Amino acid sequence: MNRKILAAGSIAAVTALALAGCAGGTDEAAEADGPVTLTLSGWSIDTTPEFQLLADAFEETHDDVTIELKEYDPTEYNTLVTADLAAGTGPDIITQKEVKFVTTFQEGGQLLDVSDVELPDGIGGVDSYKVDGVSYGVPYRQDSWVLFYNKALFDEAGVAHPDGSWTWDDYSDAAAAITAAGSAKGAYLHNWQSTVQGFANAQSDADILAGDYGYMAPFYERVIEMQDAGSQVDFNTGKANQLTYQGEFGTQKAAMLPMGSWYTATLIAQQASGEANDFEWGIAPIPQVDDSTTGTDNTPVTFGDPTGFAINAGVSDAKAAVAKEFLEFAASEEAAMLLAGIGITPALTNDAVVDAYFAVDGAPTDDLSKFAWSSHETLPENPTSNKTAAIQGILGDLHSGILSGSESVDDAIAAAEERVKNEVGLD
């Protein structure tokens, strides 16, 4: 079927009150026994093929259904979708780009209860879309953070490759040894707070809603030591020069990169196009705090939020029924195989999905890469709460303050705890 991509215009941010006050729906003229057109929100459509892939596959088995993609600016996605929903022009199927904003839509009365959508056993990320036991979304992908490494740079430096048994001390030691060899930095740590706090939260079994962040101290102390030793580019240099993780790892300026599994598809594409250098690389489990969770006989602990689909509460009953069918399809093994085939990490993984993922031309083929991608305990970066976004903003300031050198670790943590107490309040 013909499909058009709708571009979202420039829309001013709206307040939560405006969102709550307008449960605007979409066209309710569709008849249950006639053609149905659904709009699906997305971003960067040209370089994010998963939306079109799933839309095409669903249409192939639903002759009277058309899914139109509605494109939004990825940097302003949540603001623009929120504005459209408040104006009554929101998409029928809302891609949940960030879990921390699920409650914004839910509290505004904009999300349909989708608890009756059947999901396959073993799918990840389901609880991230539940509020008070009610499901307001369905995951279709679940990225987890792993360690990308350049095998050629390891070999050149005479450093043993990661083997799945690494702690953070092993990671730091390898980074120092590779840096000393002189051809590249041992590691690149991107400037996001996730690159420190995500691991601190998951591997300390911590809850950011508790308001106590002392457990982050050793994670920041290690990063500072690596920066001071020159094993990785320091935070200020990376920010000032607007370094990208794709550029630093893809052009072999760094031998290791902690990053989400989504980078696999990007790296494969960039090596094919020549944007990244041609070198052999692999994926290893992210380093652990101690050896209790290392080794391929154990389950490494990491973090990552799912990406999911929700349904606009304002759609007609006819559209809601078809939209629920789409959500069920997006979470299915069939969809997982399709996503894996383009290098996307689906929320459902099994042996067949793993095989499909690593059959992609340019993907690594070694057993450790397959283990690292498929075997881990992935804890959410963002708990589903209406306090999460505000707390993460404060913790972002903590991150910048520490790594820029403007605050000590202890002072920054103490300040963040006080701000969360005073500005957010916790039950």
pLDDT tens per residue, range 100-134: 899 999 999 999 999 999 999 989 999 999 999 99
Residue 183 lies in a domain: yes
What pLDDT does 262 receive? 92
- Amino acid at residue number 394: I
Residue 101 lies in a domain: yes
32, 68: one domain: yes
168, 233: one domain: yes
Q: Is the pLDDT of residue 22 over 60?
A: no
253, 400: one domain: yes
165, 77: one domain: no
100, 44: one domain: yes
Mean pLDDT of the chain: 91
Q: Is the pLDDT of residue 7 over 80?
A: no
27 phi, psi to nearest 5 deg: -55, 125
325, 215: one domain: no
290, 333: one domain: no
| Sign (positive or negative) of CA dihedral 261, 262, 266, 269 | positive
What pLDDT does 15 receive? 30
Residue 357 lies in a domain: no
Domain count within the chain? 2
- pLDDT tens digit string along 50-64? 999 999 999 999 999
**pLDDT mean over 367-392:** 94
Residue 394 lies in a domain: yes
Q: Is the pLDDT of residue 5 over 80?
A: no
What pLDDT does 183 receive? 86
Residue 370 lies in a domain: no
Lookup: tokens for 284: 């290893």
- pLDDT tens digit string along 254-304? 999 999 999 998 999 999 999 999 999 999 999 999 999 999 999 999 999
Beta bridge partners of 40: 69, 93
218, 335: one domain: no
- pLDDT tens digit string along 174-209? 999 999 998 899 999 999 999 999 999 999 999 999
223, 196: one domain: yes
228, 343: one domain: no
Cα 336 from Cα 53, distance rounded (Å): 11
Residue 326 lies in a domain: yes
Residue 395 lies in a domain: yes
- Here the CATH number for the domain that contains residue 177 is 3.40.190.10
Q: SS3 for the chain, per residue?
A: CCCCEEECCCCCCCCHHHHHHCCCCCCCCCCCCCCEEEEEEEECCCCCCHHHHHHHHHHHCCCCEEEEEEEECHHHHHHHHHHHHHHCCCCCEEEECCHHHHHHHHHCCCECCCCCCCCCCCCCCHHHHEECCEECCEEEEECCEEEEEEHHHHHHHCCCCCCCCCEHHHHHHHHHHHHHHCCCECECCCCCCHHHHHHHHHHCCCCHHHCCCHHHHHHHHHHHHHHHHCCECCHHHHHHCCCCHHHHHHCCCECEEEEECCHHHHHHHHHHHCCCCCCCEEEECCCECCHHHCCCCCCCEEECCEEEEEEECCCCHHHHHHHHHHHHHHCCHHHHHHHHCCCCCECCCCHHHHHHHHCCCCCCCCHHHHHHHHCCEEECCCCCCCCHHHHHHHHHHHHHHHHCCCCCHHHHHHHHHHHHHHHHCCC
Beta bridge partners of 379: 303
Cα 378 from Cα 271, distance rounded (Å): 28
Percent of the chain with pLDDT over 70: 92
pTM of the prediction?
0.86
Domain that holds residue 172: 145-301+381-424
406, 387: one domain: yes
Q: How confident is the model at residue 29 (pLDDT cuts 50, 70, 90)?
A: very low
What pLDDT does 3 receive? 33
Percent of the chain with pLDDT over 90: 88
260, 343: one domain: no
Residue 355 lies in a domain: no
Q: Is the pLDDT of residue 226 over 60?
A: yes
Residue 300: CB atoms within 10 Å: 26
